[in-house]
């Protein structure tokens, strides 16, 4: 199945056991500093969250869709949690949490305000970027197939898609090249059979003259 969607269309949410949920609920009202609590329960929650998100997202960044392998991976709050302009009340809402690469999260998104219409009910908020869970990204953003048969050219279908594409730099030549490189990597990986891998291993170790 060729990759044709890059911006994440999240349809699954992380789930937590009753103890973890009661711990998180017991912290209310939530403050940004809760995220960095050094308790075992918080460490367990964050480890489980990242593991589940990576699995749900098939090890790809929520925004650029590139591989999270060999990358710094962040537990990303779509609506940021910091006290200055953030919404710590949404910090543990599972619909607000994604795994993102450090480039998208740190270099681009940071603590950008994304809410255009606040509602105490998270799912009723309106946003200025495509929400990977609430929106259907393919209604706003398309990836057009090039002459090599790769769907890597970003095209916006709506104003929201346009704003999101520009914000995450999805239309730039560098991001288009990175998508092409990722597809090539996937293709090569597929082609390397188990036998080839054993052969690679046998010839790739250090041999002194
Ligand atoms: Zn990314």
In a domain, 72, yes or no: yes
pLDDT, tens digit, 9 for 90 and up, residues 132-149: 999 999 999 999 999 989
Q: How far is the CA of 56 from the centre of ligand 1 (A)?
A: 15
Contact call for residues 70 and 176 (beta carbons, < 8 A):
no
**Ligand 1 mean position, distance from CA 167 (Å):** 12
- In this structure, the number of other CB atoms found within 10 A of the CB of residue 101 comes to 23
In a domain, 73, yes or no: yes
- The strand ranges marked E within the chain are 73-77, 97-101, 115-117, 126-127, 141-145, 151-156
How close is the Cα of 192 to the center of ligand 1, in Å? Answer: 26
Q: What is the whole-number distance in angstroms between the Cα of residue 26 and the centre of ligand 1?
A: 33
Q: Structurally, how many domains does the chain consist of?
A: 1
CA distances from 50 to 43, 57, 58, 75 (A): 11, 10, 12, 6
pLDDT digits (tens, 9 = 90+) for 15-63: 999 999 999 999 999 999 999 999 999 999 999 999 999 999 999 999 9
What does pTM read for this prediction? Answer: 0.91
Q: Which domain holds residue 184?
A: 18-203
């Amino acid at each position: 199945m060729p990759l044709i969607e890059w911006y994440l269309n999240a349809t699954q949410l992380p789930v937590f056991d009753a103890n973890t949920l009661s711990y998180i609920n017991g912290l209310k009202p939530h403050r940004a500093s809760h995220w960095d609590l050094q308790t075992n329960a918080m460490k367990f929650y964050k480890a489980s969250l990242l593991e589940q998100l990576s699995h749900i997202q098939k090890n790809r960044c929520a925004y650029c869709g590139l591989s999270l392998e060999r990358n710094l991976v962040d537990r990303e709050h779509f609506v940021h949690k910091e006290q200055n302009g953030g919404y710590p009340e949404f910090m543990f809402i599972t619909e607000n949490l994604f795994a993102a690469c450090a480039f998208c999260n740190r270099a681009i998104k940071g603590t950008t305000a994304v809410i255009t219409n606040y509602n105490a009910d998270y799912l009723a908020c309106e946003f200025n970027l495509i929400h990977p869970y609430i929106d259907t990204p393919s209604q706003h953003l398309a990836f057009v197939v090039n002459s090599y048969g790769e769907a890597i050219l970003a095209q916006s279908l709506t104003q929201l898609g346009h704003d999101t594409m520009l914000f995450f730099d999805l239309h730039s030549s560098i991001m288009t090249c990175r998508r092409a490189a990722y597809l090539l990597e996937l293709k090569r990986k597929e082609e390397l059979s188990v036998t080839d891998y054993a052969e690679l291993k046998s010839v790739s170790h250090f041999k002194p003259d």
